[in-house]
Amino acid sequence: MRVKICGLTSAEQVHTAVAAGADYVGFVFFPRSPRALSIRAARAAALAAPPGVAKVALTVDAEDALLDAILAEVPIDILQLHGAETPARVQAVKAQSGLAVMKAVGLAEAADLAELDRQMRVADQVLVDAKPPRGAARPGGNAVAFDWRLIAGRRWPVPWLLAGGLTPENVAEAIRLTGARQVDVSSGVEDAPGHKDPARITAFIEAAHRATRAGVPPSLSASP
Beta bridge partners of 192: 195
Give the residue ranges of the chain where pLDDT is below 70: 133-143, 215-224
pLDDT of residue 137: 52
- Give the residue from 155, 152, 129 showing the smallest Cα distance to 142: 129
Q: Taking the model in full, what pTM does it have?
A: 0.91
Compute φ and ψ for 54, nearest 5 degrees.
-75, 130
How many domains in the chain? 1
pLDDT of residue 223: 37
pLDDT of residue 155: 86
pLDDT of residue 138: 54
Q: How far is residue 30's CA from residue 8's CA, in Å, rounded to a whole number?
A: 13
pLDDT of residue 224: 35
pLDDT of residue 215: 64
Q: How far is residue 112's CA from residue 159's CA, in Å, rounded to a whole number?
A: 18
Q: How far is residue 129's CA from residue 108's CA, in Å, rounded to a whole number?
A: 9
HSE of 43, CA atoms in CB hemisphere, 13 A: 9
Give the residue numbers marked as catalytic: 6, 129
Range of the domain at 114: 2-220
Q: What is the CATH number of the domain that holds 205?
A: 3.20.20.70
